[in-house]
Structure 1
Amino acid sequence: MARPRIFRRISEEPEIRCFKPEREDIDSLKPIEITIDEFEAIRLRDYHDVQQKKSAEIMGISQSTFHRILTSARKKISKALIEGNTIMIVGGDYITDKKRYICNVCGFEWSSPKKEYDKCPDCKSENIDFSTEDEESPEEPSLLQRRSFGGHGMGVGPPKVCKCPNCGYESPKIQAVPCKNTICPKCETPLCGGN
């Protein structure tokens, strides 16, 4: 019997979920999908340069699982860059925590219910604060919110509109129809999800 999958802890959702290269024959290439946990691994390790051990702690997973997620994300991104594929950030099951740390020096945000931090994992500053989305005290344990892109999480779900990455044309999102299956009537480019 397989072990149940551990929900990955995500600190920050991507603001943009679709990256499309400028090329004529883009319709013939299959988009490459990167999951939210792969996005988070890239954000922590490559963008913020947080060491792998601390990144795994922040995401609430083992170092080996973090390494597998990071390797998968890097392979997908490199393939998309070399072959010119569209990159789409898609969901998956993950959790967020209402309580989080915020570094007052670099602005890095993270949460970790299993460990107390006295330094920022990004810039090593000791000037960090504990923040909550609600008005609860830091001593009270907050409830974890399970989020799933396309599910019923807090403020998360399918995009409200489909948007053309070329000309900016927007069309209302049709339930159960992926944006990439809709073609822009102005420039004939597949649409991407937008907010």
Structure 2
Amino acid sequence: MPRPRRRRRILGEPQVASFSPESSGSCARIEITLDEFEAIRLRDYHGIQQKKAAEIMGISQPTFHRALKSARSKVAEALVEGRPIILKGGDYIMDRRRYKCMDCQFEWISPGKSYEKCPDCGSENITSVSADTLPRAGRGPGRGFGAGRGAPRVCKCIECGYEAPKTPGIPCRTEKCPKCGAPMCGSD
């Protein structure tokens, strides 16, 4: 008898559950499971190495690689064939024990391990997020898990407090303050 499938830990449900090209017509939808979405979010969006991302999700690195490969294949198929993408389902759990980096605003799940540094930027300025401070899950605009989070709107200097509008697609931590040359961090 095979061993039971291990549930993958995800941060929460995505803010947007579907993507569709302007003229999708009656094309068949491509379904990406939430654990595949989490693999893409950790590896491709945040740039976390596979071994560390697998640890965050509570799965082995080969399992993480298979989920990531499957998700990338589905995204490529949707882009090439102009088909809509639906994010739903999968074998996952949403753990309420989390950490948050105060420098880059990255949040991650604690799979039974204590963290000293942010897996995204390496900062030691991290805090534990309790279940009481997390938003409740829901549906509809302006609600749901992760509503109001995401990319910061401004980058702020950690030394002098200088603020500049955030450039989409470029993490604040890669920017340097034009006044003092110190690293910038995301801020709302």
The TM-score, its normalising length taken from structure 2, stands at 0.69
Native 8 Å contact 1:10 1:96 kept in 2: yes
In the alignment, the residues of structure 2 paired with residue 70 and residue 93 of structure 1 have an alpha-carbon distance, to the nearest angstrom, of 14
Q: 1:63 to 1:50 in 2, by over 3 A?
A: same
Shift of 1:7: 0.6
- The unaligned stretches of length 5 or more in structure 1 are 136-153, 162-195
SS of the residue aligned with 2:14? coil
Native 8 Å contact 1:102 1:131 kept in 2: yes
The letter of the residue matching 2:40 is: I
The CA deviation string for residues 135-156 of structure 1, in whole angstroms up to 9 with x for no partner, is 8xxxxxxxxxxxxxxxxxx736
Match of 1:18 in 2: 18
In the alignment, the residues of structure 2 paired with residue 121 and residue 130 of structure 1 have an alpha-carbon distance, to the nearest angstrom, of 14
SS of the residue aligned with 2:100? strand
Shift of 1:28: 3.1
Aligned match of 1:70 in 68, 71, 92? 68
Native 8 Å contact 2:57 2:111 kept in 1: no
The TM-score, its normalising length taken from structure 1, stands at 0.67
The alignment status of 1:155 with 2:137, answered yes or no, reads yes
Match of 1:93 in 2: 91
**1:14-163, aligned counterparts within 5 Å?**
14-23=14-23, 26-134=24-132, 155=137
**Equivalences, count:** 139
Shift of 1:160: 6.8
Native 8 Å contact 1:29 1:85 kept in 2: yes
Shift of 1:134: 2.6
Identical residues among aligned pairs (%): 59
Native 8 Å contact 1:98 1:134 kept in 2: no
In the alignment, the residues of structure 2 paired with residue 35 and residue 134 of structure 1 have an alpha-carbon distance, to the nearest angstrom, of 27
Match of 1:8 in 2: 8
CA-based RMSD:
1.8
Native 8 Å contact 2:55 2:111 kept in 1: no
- The unaligned stretches of length 5 or more in structure 2 are 142-188
In the alignment, the residues of structure 2 paired with residue 83 and residue 93 of structure 1 have an alpha-carbon distance, to the nearest angstrom, of 27
In the alignment, the residues of structure 2 paired with residue 45 and residue 124 of structure 1 have an alpha-carbon distance, to the nearest angstrom, of 15
Q: 1:114 to 1:133 in 2, by over 3 A?
A: closer
**1:160-171, aligned counterparts within 5 Å?**
none
In the alignment, the residues of structure 2 paired with residue 134 and residue 39 of structure 1 have an alpha-carbon distance, to the nearest angstrom, of 25
